[in-house]
């Protein structure tokens, strides 16, 4: 895993400001998708020889550079299906949106039930797997 920067601010309900490590500025180009990670751990991991885990919280897409190693990024929907249903002869209609499915099914019998907050917060790590 490589970490390129951190969340510096939540701008609004869809935009965040990323502060990049200056040596990784070139990794933040418009349209680039980056992951946000949670860092967590507890004594249940010690039997595995680990003190903490890095788990992906979500993905952001870079929309604009802001200067001084700051970049504006947005959240977006993945796997969303949009269906247009016409109403009447005028071609007017409504859009019906439905979400995607999980990308993997996990074995619930091996669940260690280690929780972490999925909200992206100031200070969260940003990088690639």
Tens of each residue's pLDDT in the chain, 129 residues: 789 999 999 988 788 999 999 999 999 999 998 988 988 877 778 888 888 888 888 888 899 999 999 999 988 777 766 666 666 555 566 666 666 655 556 567 766 666 667 788 888 888 875
Q: Whose structure tokens read 């680039």?
A: 32
Four-residue CA torsion sign, 87, 91, 92, 95: positive
Domain boundaries, the chain: 2-113+123-128
């Amino acid at each position: 895993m490589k970490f390129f920067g951190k969340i510096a601010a939540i701008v609004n309900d869809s935009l965040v400001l990323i502060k990049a490590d200056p040596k990784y500025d070139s990794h933040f180009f418009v349209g680039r998708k980056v992951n946000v990670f949670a860092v967590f751990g507890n004594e249940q991991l010690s039997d595995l020889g680990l003190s903490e885990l890095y788990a992906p919280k979500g993905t952001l897409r870079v929309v604009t550079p802001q200067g001084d190693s700051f970049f504006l990024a947005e959240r977006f929907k993945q796997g969303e299906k949009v269906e247009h249903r016409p109403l009447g002869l005028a071609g007017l209609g409504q859009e019906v949106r439905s979400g995607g499915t999980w990308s993997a099914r996990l074995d619930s019998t091996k669940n260690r039930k280690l929780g972490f907050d999925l909200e992206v917060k100031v200070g969260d790590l940003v990088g690639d797997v």
